[in-house]
Amino acid sequence: QQQVKQSPQSLIVQKGGISIINCAYENTAFDYFPWYQQFPGKGPALLIAIRPDVSEKKEGRFTISFNKSAKQFSLHIMDSQPGDSATYFCAASGTGNDMRFGAGTRLTVKP
C-alpha cells in the first residue's frame, strides 16, 4: 500500500546546517503534498504544503521543492535548530484519494 516513499529514515544535522528530506509518489492523481511535523508524545501537525502548480514554496526556514515530472518533492530546513528535532512525514492526497503518508524521517539537530 506504500504509495509515498520517504528517505532518509533518520538524519543528523549540526545546528545551522541544512536538513533535506525527500519523498517520491506513484499516483499521478495526487495533487496536494503536505509535510507534517511530529514531536514525541504528540500527534503530527501540518508544517507546510504545496500544490503541483508551483515548483517551490517557502515559509520562513522551511521550503518545499516539487518536481512533477519526476514525481518527487522534498523538504529543506535552512539554518536547522535543535528545536527542529522531530519526526517529519511527507504525505500526498488527491480528490477521491485518501491521504497517504511516508514512513517518516527522524531529524536530530545537534547543538
Residues near other proteins (CB under 8 A): 1, 6, 30-32, 34, 36, 41-46, 49, 51, 89, 93-104, 106
Contact residues for 77 (Cβ-Cβ < 8 A; gap 6+): 18, 19, 20, 61, 62, 84, 107
- Cβ distance to other proteins smaller for residue 17 or 52: 52
- Cβ distance to other proteins smaller for residue 50 or 109: 50
Cell numbers for 31, please give them. 495533487
Minimum distance from CB of 36 to other proteins (Å)? 8
- Cβ distance to other proteins smaller for residue 56 or 79: 56
